[in-house]
A and B are shown apart, each in its own frame.
Chain A
Amino acid sequence: EVVLTQSPDTLSLSPGERATLSCRASQSVSVNYLAWYQQKPGQAPRLLIYGASSRATGIPDRFSGSGIGTDFTLTISSLEPEDFAVYYCQQYGSSMTFGGGTKVEIK
C-alpha cells in the first residue's frame, strides 16, 4: 500500500499569503493518479486537482498542483477567506490511499 505523508500538519497564514502544501509518497505514484481535495467542517471533500496538475471544474486558478514520482505540491497563490480548510492528497494505484491532511488556518 502506498503511504502518503503530508506536511506540515498545520499551516498558519494570513489572507493574501501564498500556501505551499507537500505530499510525499512511500513509492513512486503515476502523476495521472494523484489528486488533491479540500474539506471544510461538516462538509464532504471537494476535488481541487486531479492528474497532479489539472484543476477540476470550477476551481479557481489560484490553486495549482505540481510534482512527480514521490513528491507533490499543492500551491494556493493568494489565500482567500474561503480557502481556510483541511487539504488531502490522494493516490489511486491498485488501491486508493489518502494523506493525513494539512490544515490551513488563519494566522
Chain B
Amino acid sequence: QVQLVQSGAEVKKPGASVKVSCKASGYTFTSHYMHWVRQAPGQGLEWMGIINPSGGSATYAQKFQGRVTMTRDTSTSIVYMELSSLRSEDTAVYYCGRDLSLLGPDYWGQGTLVTVSS
C-alpha cells in the first residue's frame, strides 16, 4: 500500500533553515509528482510547490520563491523540502502529498510540525 512517512518534529530559531523528508513506498517513486502543503495552527491548507521525482525539477508557489528548495533522492525514494530564513509565521505542520495525475495530492504523509521560536 502507498505510504508516505515524514521526518520528526523540529524546533528552529528565527533565521535558521529546516529540511523535512518524506519517504515513499508502495508505488513506483518516479511515476508520481510530490506536493508540499503546510498548515499553520488552526488555519487552512497552503500549497508550497511540487517536485517531479523523475527528473528532479520543481515548481514553487510564488510566496515561497527564493526560500524553498525541493529535492529528491531516487536511490532511497525520499523527497526533501528545505525552507530557509525561517520566521515565526512559518510555524506549521508540513505535509508531503503524492500527486494524482497533476490533479492534486491523493496520498498524504502524516505531517511534520515545525516550530520557529527564539
Let me know if B44 and A92 touch, CB within 8 A: no
Residues of A within 8 A of B104 (CB): 33, 35, 47, 50, 90, 92, 96
Other A-B pairs beyond A44-B97, A90-B45, 5, CB < 8 Å: A45-B37, A47-B105, A51-B103, A92-B102, A98-B37
A-B contact count (CB 8 A): 58
Give A residues with C-beta under 8 Å from B.
Answer: 1, 32-33, 35, 37, 39, 44-47, 50-51, 56-57, 88, 90, 92, 95-101
B61, B102, B103, B110: the one contacting A44 at CB < 8 Å is: B110
Residues of B within 8 A of A97 (CB): 47
What's the Cα separation between A101 and B45 when bound, in Å?
A: 9
Let me know if A88 and B44 touch, CB within 8 A: yes
- Give 29 A-B contacts (CB < 8 Å), ordered by A residue: A1-B62, A33-B103, A33-B104, A35-B103, A39-B45, A44-B95, A44-B97, A44-B108, A44-B110, A45-B37, A47-B100, A47-B104, A47-B105, A47-B107, A50-B100, A57-B106, A88-B44, A90-B45, A90-B104, A92-B104, A95-B47, A95-B61, A96-B50, A97-B47, A98-B37, A98-B44, A98-B45, A99-B44, A101-B44
Let me know if A100 and B44 touch, CB within 8 A: yes
Let me know if B35 and A96 touch, CB within 8 A: yes
What's the Cα separation between A95 and B102 when bound, in Å?
A: 11
Q: Which B-chain residue is minimally distant from A101 (CB atoms)?
A: B44
Task: Decide yes or no: A32 and B111 within 8 Å by CB, A95-B62, A96-B47 being known contacts.
Answer: no
Let me know if A92 and B103 touch, CB within 8 A: yes
Let me know if A98 and B46 touch, CB within 8 A: yes
What's the Cα separation between A33 and B47 when bound, in Å?
A: 15
Residues of A within 8 A of B100 (CB): 47, 50
Q: Which A-chain residue is minimally distant from B95 (CB atoms)?
A: A44
Q: Which A-chain residue is minimally distant from B106 (CB atoms)?
A: A47
For residue A45, give the distance in angstroms from its CB to the closest CB of chain B: 6
Tell me whether B14 is interfacial, beta carbon within 8 Å: no
